[in-house]
Amino acid sequence: MGFQLVGLNHKTAPVAVRERLAIPEPQLPEALQQLLRCPGIGEGLILCTCNRVELLVATQNGSAELRTFFRNYGGLSARELDPHLYEYCERDAVRHLFRVAASLDSMVLGETQILRQIRQACAVARKGQTIGCQLNQLLNHAFAVAKRVRTETLIGSQSVSIASVAVELAERIFGSVRGAHVFLVGAGAMGELAARHLMTRGAASLSIVNRTYERAVELAAKFGGAAVPFEELYATCHRADIIIASTGAPTAIFRREHGEMFLGRRRNRPMFFLDIAVPRDVDPQLSKVDGIFVYNVDDLQEIAAAHAAARCKQAVRAESIIDHEVERFHARLQTRDVVPAIILLQEHFEGIRRNELLRLSGLLASLTAEQQSAVDALTRGIVNKIVHTPIMVLKTSAQASEGGAAVAAVTRLFGLSAVKRALGDAGPVEEADQLAA
């Protein structure tokens, strides 16, 4: 079974395309089940954030129709969608996942949210039983790679995120957010980060609007703000100088008519909307109203690029770590291919040893317990020395992509006709991992 990944992100597709493919969290379990119904897919995971949507699968035939899944879900033609997609297989898919987990492919280089988002996607897939041995192994290695990059480089030395970059953009617009009245629409993780940055930079007031009012109250208490019922959103948010929107709504909640109404109440004092949601919370038509300024996640790239430049040297080091880990993971995968043969070989010779000791049990009965223990250790040591060379040949051959030929040779040499059947089941993951390490 091989790995395949198809997706699009902030570098390959504008937000207008990404929002067509964004999968709301409540719909993710069903989308995963649909993904697994595609021909040739044995395991699957969907990663959906404001900056990317990716399908990662373990395939039985090495060529799953993931592009078709995307087209059907987004209602897009091949002409509309395909220019924005990237596709990776096997080693390249592994490398891409490692880079994403380590935040080397993020808009904000070094941000920490992506790893949490991958873990959440993984948890949903595990709950739905759409990932198994193959993707579990790959994802666990990706988490370890991300940790190593964080530990061995300074790429995450400064806390940055899409939310912090959004607040930085607000400061560029205003000169300072000190004294500004802010409405935060959406009290999720991204909204909480934005609130933290706003309050530390001197915002005069913070009002939090969320469909679940209790969550708005909780977040408002944390930052000394005020909770506003969602039903009062349009009646109250004209008070805001800055509106940061980060809900999970499937369609825009701010439209042109809202902007015209807000400006009338504000006597034409300008308003700034920072839309960091995908799908977008703010209709692009709203920006056509004089006095309304709208920015979305794609507008944050200039600031994000400045952060990336400052971390360039750390990124080079991180890429080197990923190169090493890709090779290490690939070698481990290849070694696992011969694990069933290694296990069967060991069991075969251990069976011979036990049978011979049983056959001679009458002669050995006169020995003391200490002498019998010595005989057992001696015969076990002989068996280990006999199987050591063929096991090393199997492992070395696997790493050189010659594992199949080596398994066939060992099968013929030692008469292990059952090896071919064993290859269909690699046995317990723990035992296979120990032998492959």
Catalytic residue positions, numbered: 50
CA distance 323 to 319: 6
Dihedral, CA atoms, 210, 214, 216, 221, nearest 10 degrees? 180
Query: 311 CB contacts (<8 Å, ≥6 apart)?
Result: 109, 110, 154, 155
Backbone angles phi, psi at 249, to 5 degrees: -65, 140
Q: Which of 255, 304, 287, 300 is nearest to 15 (CA)?
A: 300
Query: 385 CB contacts (<8 Å, ≥6 apart)?
Result: none
Q: Quick one: CA dihedral 52, 58, 62, 68, positive or negative?
A: negative
CA distance 311 to 16: 29
307-311 contact pairs (CB < 8 A, 24+) = 307/108, 307/109, 307/110, 307/158, 307/160, 307/165, 308/108, 308/109, 311/109, 311/110, 311/154, 311/155
CA distance 75 to 252: 19
Buried b (16+ CB within 10 A) or exposed e, 394-429: bbebbbeebbeebbeebbeebebeebeebbeebeee
